[in-house]
């Protein structure tokens, strides 16, 4: 059989981590043939809970799992990992300034970047989930100069999948027939969910829907606000869907996207489509042979260009704030 791959999950005692650990263990991320060794990291106050997660993984008698390391030591956690999913982060609490949250995450991502740089397997692929995901990924990149920038990405796949889900529900078709929506920009409320190039059952989504008002109004706000809507319903933020989309992100990155299909990933921007350069920006990407590539040549109308500008401006602002925190 294949040699096991070491997969790091940070914040692994949290909600998303709890759901992610079992999904990865059942092959949802790297395929049903790929054995894994799980590295679960959390902070000392969560150590006991983390050990509980490890006990449950043992109890699940998982054929693909060749070991579970549960630790609060970031250096140990990063040793030889080929995939790193960064879910741990400092959440914004009521009354906290953006800058305070940013400076907490800057210090977390700075030290985790250093540990990954030092200990991870060569070619490690990093996915940042914890918010502000795009900017946390950028901080990680700034502090891990030997990891190629294309190996550091941020999660916008949940937003992408939410957009697919909304279109499928609206049209009353199965979600598997809907493809090539795009999430542009930041994983925040300025993100731009765009269906202009998407198809449903092979037809362009705008033609199938014939409802521009919905597409520019409720559709966009529903996708942007979906996280808040889930919190209202569950009293907790989305976890199983976030974990599921993290698996989708890594699976497509490692094993490829289907011919004719693209997905959304937060990746280092080369300035395509008028996005600012050198921020982690969500683009449509195709993946092959373990590499992503931004889909080129899509037409961008004035409406879309305006939306891309707004979310790009926000990322530049977040980057400046992060760099200030890094320097100070």
**Annotation: binding site for NAD(+):** 11-17, 42, 105, 129-131
- Among the listed residues 39, 119, 174, 187, the single catalytic one is 187
Which amino acids are annotated as binding site for substrate, given as ranges?
A: 92, 98, 131, 162
- Residue facing ligand NDP at closest CB distance: 14
The structure tokens listed for 229 are 């809507």
Angle 135-127-129 from CA coordinates, rounded to 5°: 60
- Least Å distance between CB 32 and ligand NDP? 25
- Least Å distance between CB 324 and ligand NDP? 20
Q: Which residue, 43 or 121, has its beta carbon nearer to ligand NDP?
A: 43
Q: Which residue, 36 or 46, has its beta carbon nearer to ligand NDP?
A: 46
Residues whose CB falls within 8 Å of the CB of residue 185, separated by 6 or more in sequence, listed in order: 191, 192, 275, 281, 282, 307, 308, 310, 311, 312, 314, 315
187 is catalytic: yes
Q: Which residue, 133 or 163, has its beta carbon nearer to ligand NDP?
A: 133
As a whole number of angstroms, the distance between CA 152 and CA 154 comes to 7
State the residues that interact with ligand NDP by CB under 6 A. Answer: 10-11, 13-17, 42-43, 46, 87-91, 108, 129-131, 133, 155, 158, 187, 227, 237-239, 242
The structure tokens listed for 303 are 């409406």
DSSP strand E in 13-60: where? 36-41
Q: Which residue, 199 or 282, has its beta carbon nearer to ligand NDP?
A: 282
Which amino acids are annotated as binding site, given as ranges?
A: 11-17, 42, 92, 98, 105, 129-131, 162
Of the CA atoms within 13 Å of residue 54, those in its CB half-sphere come to: 19
- Least Å distance between CB 181 and ligand NDP? 16
Q: Which of 248, 283, 259 is nearest to 165 (CA)?
A: 248
Tell me which residues are annotated as active site: 187
């Amino acid at each position: 059989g294949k040699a096991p791959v070491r997969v790091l999950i940070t914040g692994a005692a949290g909600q998303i981590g709890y759901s992610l650990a079992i999904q990865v263990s059942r092959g949802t991320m790297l395929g049903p043939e790929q054995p894994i060794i799980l590295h679960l990291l959390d902070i000392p106050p969560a150590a006991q809970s983390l050990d509980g997660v490890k006990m449950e993984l043992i109890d699940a008698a998982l054929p693909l799992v060749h070991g579970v390391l549960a630790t609060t030591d970031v250096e140990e956690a990063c040793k030889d990992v080929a995939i790193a999913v960064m879910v741990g982060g400092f959440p914004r609490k009521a009354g906290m300034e953006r800058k305070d949250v940013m400076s907490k995450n800057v210090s977390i991502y700075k030290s985790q970047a250093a540990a990954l740089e030092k200990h991870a397997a060569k070619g490690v692929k990093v996915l940042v989930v914890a918010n502000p995901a795009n900017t946390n990924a950028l901080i990680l990149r700034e502090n891990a100069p030997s990891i190629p920038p294309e190996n550091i990405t941020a999660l916008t796949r949940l937003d992408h999948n939410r957009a697919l889900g909304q279109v499928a529900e609206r049209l009353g078709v199965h979600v598997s027939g809907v493809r090539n929506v795009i999430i542009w920009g930041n994983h925040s409320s300025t993100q731009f969910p765009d269906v202009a190039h998407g198809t449903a059952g092979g037809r362009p989504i705008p033609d199938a829907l014939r409802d521009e008002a919905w597409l520019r109004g409720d559709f966009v706000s529903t996708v942007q606000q979906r996280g808040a809507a889930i919190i209202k319903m569950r009293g907790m933020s989305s976890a199983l869907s976030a974990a599921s989309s993290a698996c989708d992100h890594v699976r497509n990155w490692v094993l490829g996207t289907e011919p004719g299909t693209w997905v959304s990933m937060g990746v280092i921007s080369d300035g395509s489509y008028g996005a600012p350069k050198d921020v982690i920006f969500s683009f449509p990407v195709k993946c092959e042979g373990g590499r992503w590539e931004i889909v080129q040549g899509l037409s961008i109308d004035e409406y879309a260009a305006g939306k891309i500008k707004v979310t790009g401006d926000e990322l530049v602002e977040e980057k400046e704030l992060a760099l200030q925190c890094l320097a100070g």
